[in-house]
Chains A and B, each alone.
Chain A
Amino acid sequence: EAQVTQNPRYLITVTGKKLTVTCSQNMNHEYMSWYRQDPGLGLRQIYYSMNVEVTDKGDVPEGYKVSRKEKRNFPLILESPSPNQTSLYFCASSITGQLYEQYFGPGTRLTVT
């Protein structure tokens, strides 16, 4: 079954404690992306990756890092989380140029206290 998986699904952490949210897809997609969802703001892109070792900033990259060492994985790293990063995070993947067939992960709800 084609899918995008994220872990953990829920996370409560404290300010400054480094964390990683993993994302994995099994469709051999080149394009992967991270979004955060906040009420009234829709989804905003944090980072995207066109392929292995190729990543770039989206609209709200501050406070986040990513890496793409393997095609299937695209982890999101928060080196020093702050309360304003409390949000719902989605990973997504697609064939490059075919965003109309973008697959979204189930989401990770992060709370930073």
Chain B
Amino acid sequence: ELKVEQNPLFLSMQEGKNYTIYCNYSTTSDRLYWYRQDPGKSLESLFVLLSNGAVKQEGRLMASLDTKARLSTLHITAAVHDLSATYFCAVDTPLIKAAGNKLTFGGGTRVLVKP
């Protein structure tokens, strides 16, 4: 059974400082996605990582994927209040019994950026 572990589960950030969220997974996959969820809202896609060594950046967020280590990181540079949200990683793996894929999510990291 695929396990996807995020840490930390909660991250209190100070504005202007840098932080990293880690996503470890237990089986082979070269597809991993990051999502953002604001309170009471649905999931918003942030990054799609489709190969080993993939790196994507958008504003203060940068995501990378190391498929050999089965690790993805979401790096936050110079945190600002607007980045307060819950962040999820999700690993894309083939279905066992049918053609197609499924997503397995990490437990989420709740980020709170304080002034």
Contacts and interface: CB of A to CB of B under 8 A. Distances in A.
Interface of A: 31, 33, 35, 40-45, 48, 50, 56, 58-59, 90, 96-97, 99-102, 104-107
B92 A41 contact: no
B55 interface: no
A44 B50 contact: no
Given A40-B9, A101-B45, 20 more contacts: A42-B4, A42-B108, A43-B43, A43-B88, A43-B90, A43-B103, A45-B103, A45-B104, A48-B102, A50-B98, A50-B99, A96-B99, A97-B101, A99-B33, A99-B101, A99-B103, A100-B33, A100-B50, A104-B43, A107-B42
Interface string B7-32: 00100000000000000000000010
Interface residues of B, number: 26
Closest 5 CB pairs of A and B: A42-B105, A100-B48, A43-B105, A104-B42, A42-B107
Contacts of A45: 102-104
A107 B41 CA distance: 7
Contacts of A59: 104
B97 interface: yes
Contact of A41 (B45, B98, B101, B107): B107
A31 B105 contact: no
A11 B53 CA distance: 44
B103 A102 contact: yes
A56 B97 contact: yes
Nearest to B101: A99
Contacts of A31: 100
Interface string B83-115: 000001010100001111111111110000000
Contacts of B50: 100
A99 B92 contact: yes
A107 B108 CA distance: 17
30 contacts: A33-B102, A40-B107, A40-B108, A41-B107, A42-B6, A42-B105, A42-B107, A42-B108, A43-B88, A43-B103, A44-B105, A45-B102, A45-B103, A45-B104, A50-B98, A90-B43, A96-B99, A96-B100, A97-B100, A99-B31, A99-B33, A99-B102, A99-B103, A100-B31, A100-B33, A100-B45, A102-B45, A102-B103, A105-B42, A107-B42
